[in-house]
Structure 1
Amino acid sequence: PPPPGPFTPSESLLLSHAYAHVPASGFTPTALALGARSAGLLDISATILPRGVFSLILFHLVTQRGALASRAAAIPAGPVAERVEALTWARLQGNQDAGVVGGLQEALAIMAQPSCVPASVAELAKLSDEIWYLAGDVAVDPSWYTKRASLAAIYAAAELFMTNDKSEGFRETREFLRRRLAEAGEIGDVTRSVREWVGFTASAGINVLRSKGVPV
């Protein structure tokens, strides 16, 4: 079934087929056109997506977030912090399993565009909340907000790190994730995490756009 999210049945049909073409074509209009064809639709059907390629990126984010519940069932019971790490890593592995790591830099560049930032940040917040929930966090205090904001920033930084990771099985990405989670647990510096995420994402977006010949 299509994942829950801001998609109509026709959008879900097109996007689910286009998603299968992302490993070879990236998050691009080409993937949308190929998806329309494989869904038995006219190429022009891709125009039903008012946000274009960003809709395909959002479909990826929603799909992978929705898959976390089943992944959580396979993670052994343990301290909340350990389950948070395991679930965050499982979400990053979802990029590899879906074959989209090669298209992440371009996706991040699109997500960093002003018109896409609100929806991108909202989905990142939902992911962070889902991870804490599945990890068994039941605390209701001021730390509820800081923990989620910090994890969102750490996840985003780890995903960006993943785009340049050539190590086997993305071993270095997992080590990066562990370091950042340990640092956050020791100093609780959510402000620094958010600031670094914004800087990393903006830099990645600018570099990718420049590589495409966009004057920025």
Structure 2
Amino acid sequence: MSQTPLDPVKQQLLDAIIPHVAFDGWAPVAFNAAIADAGVDPAVARTICPRGAIDLAIAFHEQGDAAMVAALDAADLTGMRFRDKVAHAIRLRLRAIPDKEAVRRGTAMFALPHMAADGARLVWGTADAIWTALGDTSDDANWYTKRLTLSGIYAAVVLYWLGDDSTGGQATDAFIDRRIDGVMQFEKVKAQLRDNALLKPLTMPLARLMAGIKAPRRDMDPDLPGVWRDPT
């Protein structure tokens, strides 16, 4: 997966806004300060970022995803269990964050009711980036359930990480492992229920229904959460 590089002016604004976010959040006052610091024409800045600081907060998150994918591509995952690859990807995503306070402020902003859809899309995009980078080839309902489950894990990890003051983030590392272990146990129980002959009459109708669900096509609207990304 590749990401189109940011417009150079947008990159200037993003670099300029970060120092202000810690004090003002991803707010209009921070956006205006970034415009002044970057020496960008205000009309040009508002054309590139119609939603102001919100557009820069989204770009900040997506740059982190791209940095994580690049780190995953360069990593040697040979011999790792798949659960460990996922855990490693989450850790790489956290390491790709250059400013913890910017994430704290962004988390608060995207938790607001009118911003929740944007926040959910970004978390889903992170989960999709991880699965795609790890070579996920599912094209049925599993495509969605994998990303939904990982979205929940990643969102919980970020909240835990924001409050973690342990040495070297050891507490967060342990939390990541616990969350993934919990999901693996749940998947094991699901498999046991699915294979239970006594429950077949109950599970088969649902299995048939799920079999009809397909992953998004590459030609779908790219603004929809979780659609295929162009690999070129």
| TM-score, normalised by the number of residues in structure 2 | 0.67
Q: Superposed, which structure 2 residues align to 1:102-113 within 5 Å?
A: 102-113=101-112
**Number of aligned residue pairs:** 183
User: What amino acid is the match of 1:184?
Assistant: V
- How far residue 186 of structure 1 moved from its aligned partner, in angstroms, is 0.9
Q: Which residue number in structure 1 is paired with residue 16 of structure 2?
A: 17
Structure 1 segments (4+ residues) deviating >6 Å:
none
Deviation at 1:22, TM superposition (A): 4.3
In structure 2, the residue matched to 1:89 is 91
- Alpha-carbon shift at residue 145 of structure 1 (Å): 1.4
Aligned equivalents of 2:24 and 2:170: distance in 1? Answer: 25
Residues 80 and 137 of structure 1 are in contact (CA less than 8 Å); yes or no, is this contact kept in structure 2?
Answer: no
Identity %: 26
Q: Secondary structure at the match of 1:41?
A: coil
**In the TM superposition, what whole-angstrom CA distance separates every residue of 1:5-54 from its partner, at most 9, and x where no partner exists?**
8x766444422432465467654445423422332225676655332332
Aligned to 1:76: 77
Q: Aligned AA for 2:4?
A: P
Supply the distance in 2 between the matched residues of 1:140 and 1:47 (Cα, whole angstroms).
Answer: 39
Greater mean alpha carbon deviation, residues 148-157 or residues 162-171: 162-171
1:124 corresponds in structure 2 to 123
The TM-score with structure 1 as length reference comes to 0.72
- Structure 2 CA distance, aligned partners of 1:93 and 1:39? 26
Verify the 8 A CA contact 1:4 1:62 in the aligned structure 2.
Answer: no
Asked if the contact 1:54–1:116 (Cα under 8 Å) also holds between the matched residues in 2, the reply is: no
8 Å CA contact retained: 1:29, 1:53: yes
**Alpha-carbon spacing, 1:34–1:92, altered in 2? closer, same or farther (3 Å):** same
Look up the match of 1:66. Answer: 66
CA distances 1:71-107 after superposition (whole Å, capped 9, x unpaired):
0112432333221110111101222xx0x21243321
Q: 1 CA distance for matches of 2:114 and 2:50?
A: 12
Aligned equivalents of 1:105, 1:39: Cα separation in 2: 24
Q: Is the 8 A contact 1:127 1:152 kept in 2?
A: yes
Q: Quick one: distance in 1 between partners of 2:151 and 2:22?
A: 25
Q: Which amino acid aligns with 1:62?
A: E
**Alignment partner of 1:185 is 2:184:** yes
In the TM superposition, residue 147 of structure 1 has moved relative to its aligned partner by: 1.3
Query: 1:154 is matched with which residue?
Result: 153
Report Cα offsets for 1:54-77 as digits up to 9, x if no partner. Answer: 222211111101112220112432
Gaps of 5+ in 1: 190-216
Q: Give, as a single letter, the amino acid of the residue that structure 1 aligns with 2:83.
A: A
Structure 2: 5+ residue stretches without partners = 190-232
Q: Which amino acid aligns with 1:71?
A: A
3-state SS in 2 of match to 1:116 = helix
Report the AA paired with residue 90 of structure 1. Answer: L
Using the alignment, how far apart are the partners of 1:117 and 1:4 within structure 2? 25
Report the equivalent of 2:55. Answer: 55
